[in-house]
Chains A and B, each alone.
Chain A
Amino acid sequence: MAQLELVPVHTRILTPKDNIVNTILEYAGQDIGPEDIVCVAESVVAITQGHFTRPEELKPSWKARFLCRFVPADGSMSSVYGMQAAMNLEGEWKTMFCFFAGAIAKIFRKNGVFYQLARQASLTDDVTGTMPPFDKHIVYGPKHPNQVAEQIVQRTGCYGAVVADVNDLKRSAVLGHSRGLDPKRIARILINNPFGNDSQMTPIVIIKNFASVAREQQ
């Protein structure tokens, strides 16, 4: 009887010079089988896509200065640059609208509306959110995560692939996945953060035997 096994894959620090699919092949190519799912951390995908900026490159608008004052201190958008970066992705007026919609929803005790409406903004990591040398950068969410997942499947021959956002606070979300996968199920499998913390440098996790286990469960 096959069993699920989570295999973290150690890599060097990846940069915009790297291609995430080539990196997966380089570090994990031999370990990936046709029954496996390849998971890759969203911030690393974004970094290889060059999807980040630095506070020094941003010019905060009055809207960013205004809104960041209302974000709790531990939020990525509590700094004026985190907020401006999110606004650059979502649009300044759209972010303002989402924020006020979120505030009104809070009055009716519905939390998280802002992050549901401003999806890209919720994926932005402020400075310190990523390991050196990207700790001085604001890292956005990955571009086209579904396409990335499809490319991984095509090049590695695995059963499926996902781009995931997982942390140690038991928060797990699949941002992009290849066709035929149930993202919620994969998110549950990754809930204990097999990617580890940044210093462990394991941005790729292989879920071994996923297809066989799924077949047996059916």
Chain B
Amino acid sequence: MFLSTLINIIVAIILILAVLYLLFRLYAWQQGNERIVMLVKRHTPFIVEDISFSQVTLTCDIPFVNKGRQNGTIMDLYPRHLMPEEQFDGVHIESWTMDVSRPRHDGYWESVIIPPRKGGTVRLRVIMSVKDGNIRKELMNFPDMPIDIVYQVVGRSDWHISKNRLVLTSEELEQAMRQ
């Protein structure tokens, strides 16, 4: 009799805890999380911001949006251009990003909170230079170059790093250099 009562109590406690856990999961699911996405396909065409005999600076703007239902904080954001020397070693490449709404010129990404359904714009700068020679000539055979936009986000859930890729195509580069 005592054992059966004890088992009933334990089962009841486990059931209550299970129900509470399920209710919390349901609440958390309904509350949602942040979901910050770089809209790389909607980036503006690359344009030449500055050019000299040996160096060119290209820029483009990339919109982003928080598609989630909670605030998301972009703690860090940076570009990663992918051009191995086996593929092309004619130029030295640097790239950096900036939040258009809070301009700065040091490549430092200042953490920013993005509310749900809001967004902003990242400005990507790609600087290509040659030691000796003419940058225009050197870039004539430049291949397509992927650039990953890498960003670290934190919110109600664990921090995570995401990547979205855009490609600076040879045609787009040619077009920008012609303007």
Contact = CB atoms under 8 A, between A and B. Distances in A.
Interface in A111-136: 127-128, 132-133, 135-136
Interface string A69-89: 100011000111100000000
B73 A80 contact: no
B112 A78 contact: no
Given A68-B156, A69-B31, A136-B76, A78 B71 contact: yes
Interface in B112-140: 112-113, 115
A34 interface: no
A55 interface: yes
A5 to B, nearest CB: 33
Interface size class of B (residues with CB under 8 A): 20 to 34
B159 A135 contact: no
A127 B75 contact: yes
B39 interface: no
B73 to A, nearest CB: 6
Nearest to B72: A79
B71 A56 contact: no
B144 interface: no
A66 interface: yes
Contacts of B111: 127-128, 135-136
Contacts of A65: 157
Interface string A39-75: 0000000000000000110001000011011000110
A79 B24 contact: no
Given A55-B75, A69-B28, A128 B113 contact: yes
Given A128-B112, A132-B108, A69 B75 contact: no
B156 A79 contact: yes
B73 A128 contact: yes
B171 interface: no
B105 to A, nearest CB: 13
B158 A60 contact: yes
Interface string B70-84: 110101100000000
B110 interface: yes
Nearest to A128: B111
B27 interface: yes
Nearest to A127: B111
Contacts of B156: 68-69, 78-80
A80 B72 CA distance: 12
Given A79-B73, A132-B108, 11 more contacts: A55-B154, A60-B158, A65-B157, A69-B31, A74-B71, A80-B155, A80-B158, A127-B75, A128-B73, A133-B108, A136-B75
18 contacts: A55-B75, A55-B159, A66-B24, A69-B24, A69-B27, A74-B71, A78-B156, A79-B73, A79-B156, A80-B154, A80-B157, A127-B73, A127-B111, A128-B112, A128-B113, A132-B108, A133-B108, A136-B111
